[in-house]
Amino acid sequence: MMLRPPIITVMGHIDHGKTTLLDALRQTSVAAKESGGITQHIGAYQVDHQGKKLTFIDTPGHAAFSKMRSRGAAVTDLVILVVDAVESVKPQTKECLEHIKAAGVPFLVAINKMDLPNAVPEIVKKDLADSGVMVEGYGGDIVCVPISAKTKKGLPELLEMVLLMAEMQKLTGDPQAPLNAVVIESTLDPKRGSTATVIVKAGTLRVGQDIYTPETSGRVRQLLDWRHQPLRQAQPGDPALILGLKQVPVVGSVVSDQPVLQKSIEKQAKTVSADKKLKLLIKADVTGTLEAIVGNLGGEVELVGQGVGTIYESDVLLAQSTGARIIAFRVKVSSQAEFLAEKEAVLIKSYQLIHELLDDIQQQILKLLEPTIDEQVLGEASVLQAFTVKNGQIAGCQVNSGKLTVGDQVNLMRGEQLIGSSRIKSIYQGKEKVDKAKRGEQYGIGLTNNLEFQTKDKLVAYKTL
């Protein structure tokens, strides 16, 4: 094991100085003659302070933070929450705090824009305390550092505190372990093909290495550091840009050097997400109603967020990263939130009556404990063999009862355990494409998402009652 650099994310309300702070920190670690090239950053960079490295994720805000966390990739060790010394705590500041709390990540506060004549840091500390963040001097131990990202005043003290908090965590990584790196940014470059910015969590990433993600694979053709200089290898805590993947991987994907390990990582993520608590984010029209709803929730409910007013994209991101569903009581859902919820498969349910809301939550709790409680079985098929094709897998099945139809919802069952749910995308009998699979005959069945079939699994087609 080796001590590794801490991995830090900067968050905060819009215009409070996140990007300015990241730029200021990056400029302090680049020689003047190089500064012209720093605008083409790769999503992460390293600062050297007192001979020690700190890795900053250069994708400020909670959108990227949520995307990584939603896939089980706990990449951030520490968060710097930036708060404007004049505007103080704003709605997005509170949203950031919800994300930090949900992630269980330690954080400190950078009170920015101290160069302005009307800066009042004490008001910021009081407002933070009112938001449940007990800072130093207000009954708590959350560190606040006054800074000016514009003039760079206070940045050495900020880095000093970050290093101190990192040392308390005793962050280590094993460079000899199997590779485990997290994608924090990815794109299709017209000249270089699929590229991915990763931060190495364990193992060593090397040029010429075969690598795998859930979506794609490839061989590391070239590694670049954050200055776009060639690298031979990247070790725990280091960021790197990978060239050589066949396709663009999803942000939050885990990169490994062994296909078997990749499957193990995916299974672990599924196990972690299989929590027997109903996770909810609740927004209501007024505070009194919100308190009434929350007061009637049982111990089977985990509340990841609550508030008053419209459902926005930030609410969807928080629900997505925590695996929660959103309850909207007599409030609007913004069109952007609706679009994002559909894209990220986040369930939003709206209600006008409290008793209907509470009855539905009770039903959802029962379904969590018994997933098939509200389903009527349409047909059942046993998996005889799994065939790998270009776009995933086809299950070779024997239909035991009823019938299965293209478009049906299906559960993949392994014994009594629900492995996953999907819809039937295609059915083949021999080489002929058909609409239905009938009892007593054998078919090849393809699903809309990639579930990993095993012999003796069962595909159960159903409709919701």
Q: Are residues 364 and 381 in the same domain?
A: no
Q: Give the model's pLDDT for residue 356.
A: 86
DSSP-assigned states of every residue in 158-220: HHHHHHHHHHHHT-EE-TTSPPEEEEEEEEEETTTEEEEEEEEEES-EETT-EEE-SS-EEEE
Collapsing DSSP to helix, strand or coil, 361 comes out as helix
Q: Are residues 442 and 336 in the same domain?
A: no
- Give the residue from 369, 394, 413 where a domain finishes: 369
Q: Are residues 406 and 431 in the same domain?
A: yes
- Give the residue from 317, 350, 369 where a domain finishes: 369
Q: Are residues 86 and 18 in the same domain?
A: yes
Q: Are residues 392 and 344 in the same domain?
A: no
Q: Are residues 152 and 201 in the same domain?
A: no
118 phi/psi in degrees, rounded to 5: -100, 20
Number of other residues whose CB lies within 10 A of the CB of residue 367? 15
pTM comes to 0.66
Nearby residues of 131 by Cβ (< 8 Å), 6 or more positions away = 89, 93, 94, 97
pLDDT at 133 over 60: yes
**How buried is residue 164: exposed, middle or buried, by Cβ count under 10 Å (0-12/13-18/19+)?**
exposed
Which tokens in the block code for residue 76? 């951030």
Q: Are residues 9 and 116 in the same domain?
A: yes
- Give the residue from 212, 244, 272 where a domain finishes: 272
Q: What is the extent of the structural domain holding 407? A: 375-464
pLDDT tens readout for residues 367-423: 776 666 667 889 999 999 988 777 678 899 999 999 999 999 998 888 877 777 888
Number of domains in the chain: 4
In the chain, the percentage of residues whose pLDDT exceeds 70 is 88
Pick the residue with more confidence: 27 or 50? 50
Closest CA to 403 of 380, 375, 370: 380
Number of other residues whose CB lies within 10 A of the CB of residue 398? 15
Q: Are residues 303 and 416 in the same domain?
A: no
User: 397: number of CA atoms within 13 Å, CB side?
Assistant: 32
CATH number at residue 398: 2.40.30.10
Q: Give the model's pLDDT for residue 138.
A: 83
pLDDT tens readout for residues 174-229: 999 999 999 888 888 888 889 999 999 999 999 999 999 888 899 999 999 888 88
pLDDT tens readout for residues 282-324: 999 988 888 888 888 878 888 988 989 999 988 898 888 888 8
Q: Give the model's pLDDT for residue 42.
A: 64
